[in-house]
Amino acid sequence: MPDANGRRSLTPDLNPFDAFIGQGDDQSDVGEQDGLQRNGLVPQQLPSIIDERAIVRYYKDPYKTPIIISSGHQEQARQGTWEDFFDVALALDVTTGCGGKIWPAAEVLGQYIASKRTGGEWKGKQAVELGAGTGLVGLLAAQLGDLEKVWITDQIPMMKLMAQNLDLNPDLRERCIVAELNWGEAVPEDVTTHPDVLLLADCVYLEIAFQPLVDTMVEMSTPQTEILFCYQQRRKADKRFFKMLRKHFTFTDIEDDDPERAKQYNRQGTHLYRVQKK
């Protein structure tokens, strides 16, 4: 339930309200041809969220869970100490695909980088978020202040929403770029080919996209690339993706997240991996 200020914690129950969180869409298997848009890779979804607004607050304290401040209570959004949290303003809209809402993996990966990547580890580096959807994780990464440049990337149907979300966070315009990037195709000229950091949240969704995603990860990484990969377990077919991934990468569970929090999201089928190219 929300508190008096309209705030809702995203954990321990990673789906506190279906209006913003995509957990409720994870329960049934999605076949290779189910729910595809015309371009073949962006899954469609009934338009349950149309032009909504929210602010997602991530805390630097790993023991504090993120909250969503809904559009009716955003006058409270700036309450608190700036040194303690990061606010990301978002437009949410699923009329062009299910990437237009907040998914549990973005909550988990976002909280990890908010609490673990504020000590200068990424100073002067470049990052790319693949399959960004709303752009939430990439926008958060840009807010940390250390990264020189962040690209939030997805397919054409998500471009308008990502650009809108960058406009809602004007302080990030100088170091954040919205760009089209189709998995399995050559990296476009306006996106860095080999970023220092690759961010992926909830990209394992449709079987038809498994190999293209692996191909793009191979093209954009080296053994030195830091790859943070948050995955929501959905169906048995996901094993095929990780079999493909193992041909080129090793992956292990993140070990420095809060253990109680990790136990909690693991129980709900969310896994946070560190991936390294062989």
Q: Does residue 133 have a known ligand-binding role?
A: yes
Q: Does residue 183 have a known ligand-binding role?
A: yes
Spatial contact of 204 and 29, defined as CB atoms under 8 Å apart: no
Cβ partners under 8 Å of residue 149, min gap 6: 126, 127, 175, 176, 177, 192
Q: Does residue 131 have a known ligand-binding role?
A: yes
Q: Does residue 142 have a known ligand-binding role?
A: no
Q: Does residue 72 have a known ligand-binding role?
A: no
Spatial contact of 144 and 86, defined as CB atoms under 8 Å apart: yes
Beta-sheet strand order (sheet of 85-92) = 7-9, 67-70, 52-59, 85-92
Q: Does residue 154 have a known ligand-binding role?
A: yes
Question: Rounded to the nearest 10 degrees, what angle do helices 259-267 and 104-116 cross at?
Answer: 170
Q: Does residue 97 have a known ligand-binding role?
A: no
Spatial contact of 48 and 98, defined as CB atoms under 8 Å apart: no
Candidates 59, 163, 146, 173; CA nearest to 107 is: 59
CB count in 10 Å sphere of residue 185:
12
CB count in 10 Å sphere of residue 248:
14
Beta-sheet strand order (sheet of 149-154) = 176-180, 149-154, 126-130, 197-201, 226-232, 270-277, 249-253
Distance, CA of 18 to CA of 21 (rounded, Å): 5
Numbered residues of the known binding site for S-adenosyl-L-methionine: 103, 131-133, 154, 183, 201
Residue ranges of the binding site: 103, 131-133, 154, 183, 201
